[in-house]
Amino acid sequence: ADVLRFAAGLEKGATAAYLGVLPNFHNRELTRAAGSILGDEAMHWAVLLSALGEDPVPGAFVG
């Protein structure tokens, strides 16, 4: 459980980092790629929360 919780924290941080940096990109292709990665990171976070028996979507993620 500790390893899953640690990994979930990393994924939460990665999701927040991508969400925070998207407005700074001025290249549409770079923005699209980062947005795709953001979605993957959020999915990883949700799967890890689910594996821990927690709500995989604890609330709206607003940066």
Tell whether 45 is covered by a domain: yes
pLDDT computed for residue 41 by the predictor: 95
Residue with tokens 């990994």: 7
| Residue 9 counted as domain residue | yes
DSSP class of residue 59 equals S
* Residue-level pLDDT at 63: 53
Residue 62's pLDDT is what?
A: 56
| 14, part of any domain | yes
Using the predicted structure, report yes or no on whether residue 60 has a pLDDT greater than 70: no
Q: Are 41 and 15 in contact (CB under 8 A)?
A: yes
Query: 46 in a domain, yes or no?
Result: yes
pLDDT level of residue 47 (50, 70, 90 thresholds) = very high
- Read off the CATH number of the domain in which 46 is found: 1.20.5
Q: Which residues 6+ apart lie within 8 Å of 7 measured at CB?
A: 44, 48
Q: Model confidence over 5-37: pLDDT tens digits? A: 999 999 999 999 999 999 999 999 999 999 999
Domains of the chain: total: 1
String of DSSP letters for 38-58:
HHHHHHHHHHHHHHTTS-SS-
Residue type, 33: A
Q: Give pTM, 2 decimals.
A: 0.83
